[in-house]
């Protein structure tokens, strides 16, 4: 069990570190909020778990928040020029 946990944590840290290098810390942090929504979708696909209305509403809020955060990034880069 420890091996599984350390392996998953190690892979996650490598992915986050590369994400910070590629798209920057703000966008990487925003994308991390998608983890619970993706967990619900993957549980539905692989474990046949039902998706409840509250989870759908939460997923919509999460995706909207990430889209709002990503939408602000071009304005920052335009000011930097």
Tell me the three-class secondary structure of 42-65, residue by residue.
HHHHHHCCCCCHHHHHHHHHHHHH
Q: How many CB atoms lie within 10 A of CB 27?
A: 17
- The answer to pTM > 0.85 is no
Number of separate domains in the chain: 2
Same domain membership, residue 78 and residue 59: yes
Same domain membership, residue 75 and residue 52: yes
Same domain membership, residue 80 and residue 57: yes
Same domain membership, residue 42 and residue 7: no
Structural domain of residue 18, as residue ranges? 1-25
Residue 70 has pLDDT above 80, yes or no: no
22-69 tens-digit pLDDT: 988 888 888 888 888 889 999 999 999 999 999 999 999 998 988 888
């Amino acid at each position: 069990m420890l091996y599984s946990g350390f392996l998953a944590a190690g892979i996650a840290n490598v992915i986050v570190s590369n994400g910070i290098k590629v798209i920057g810390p703000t966008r990487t942090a925003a994308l991390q909020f998608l983890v619970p929504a993706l967990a619900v979708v993957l549980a539905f696909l692989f474990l046949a778990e039902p998706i409840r209305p509250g989870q759908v509403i939460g997923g919509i809020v999460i995706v909207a928040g990430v889209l709002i955060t990503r939408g602000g990034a071009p304005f920052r880069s335009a000011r930097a020029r």
